[in-house]
Copies of this chain bind each other. A is one copy, B any other.
Amino acid sequence: MVNFADKLTNKIKETGNPTVMGLDPMLDYVPASIRRQASLEAADPAEAAGLALYWFNQQLIDAVVDLIPAVKPQFAYYEQYGVPGLAALQKTITYAQSKGLLVIADAKRNDIGSTAEAYSRAILDQTSLGESASQSFIGADCITLNGYLGIDGIKPFLDQCLKGGQGAYILVRTSNPSAGDLQDLVLNDGRTVYEAMAEKVAQWGQDLIGQSGYSSVGAVVGATWPRQAEKLRQIMPHNLILVPGYGAQGATADDAVASFGPDGQGAIVNASRSLMLAYKKQGLPADDFATATRLEAIAMRDDLRDALKRAGRAIE
């Protein structure tokens, strides 16, 4: 069984690209031609929406499958379309994995121990249906978590990662403007709350360090805060870092580079809207969205590689 950090590191080396594509679709991102076709095949508008989202995602995946190591569907975007939306999420994940991509389930789950076990079954593993049957809902390679409840709510996922080779990214310093409301509060020992969380992540990930030198337990650190990211990389030298905030949220490749290790590994930069909606930026018709996404993915890859070179952290 291969450790998630090793799987991801290998895929990044193979593609030469530390990008994860966010798959956070809204129905109005999908070209009218696809929506029309979905309406013809579906029984009702909700089912048509689910079908349209799935086909949209399929084409996005096909457009970049040789270029990127992983995709990151954000669950809210599927939940908002109800059961047909969640069926689209499920099919999207199965499709991405069938093409060899790693899937990071961006669910930010958090709860007490017994409930965290149920989430771990739902998103990383499977659930017994009695007798010989079992149900796999998401079966992702990795999940995002919120550590506010402490180790109880994290442990079931760590156990699953040890057993099944998955990974988990825990929120440390998020990319949004109000991240500091709670995360920047200063403790009586001089650390910030997010630094304290980073120390927990370093500790929780100790048993899951792979041959790459990185742990399958990682941290979410927004590219929008490069100075904090430099410090967090020092606190968590062996943890994977998931870097949101590049592109639509305003951070540059140079900002994102702060989260990489000295070997140019250990981090992956997310882009969702800037990749999915590249056709708008490029002034192309919606029907050309997949081509536009491919061009944007190449540009982002080159942008990150150049920034890593400038920072002396080039991917080997």
Chain A interface residues toward B at CB < 8 A: 24, 27-28, 35, 45-46, 48-49, 74, 76-77, 79-87, 90, 108-113, 115-116, 118-119, 121-123, 127-131, 133, 135-137, 146-153, 171, 174-183, 185-188, 190, 193, 196-197, 200, 244, 249
Contacts and interface: CB of A to CB of B under 8 A. Distances in A.
Contacts of A244: 112
A129 B48 CA distance: 9
A118 B77 contact: yes
Contacts of A77: 115, 118
A179 to B, nearest CB: 6
Given A108-B109, A149-B174, 5 more contacts: A79-B137, A146-B148, A149-B178, A182-B196, A182-B197
A261 to B, nearest CB: 25
Scoring A46, A119, A178 by chain B CB atoms within 10 A of each residue's CB, the highest score goes to A178
B176 A81 contact: no
16 contacts: A27-B128, A45-B129, A45-B131, A45-B133, A76-B111, A81-B129, A81-B135, A81-B137, A82-B127, A84-B135, A113-B176, A148-B182, A149-B181, A149-B182, A181-B200, A188-B188
Contact of A119 (B48, B76, B83): B76
A45 B134 CA distance: 8
A153 B179 CA distance: 9
A28 B127 CA distance: 11
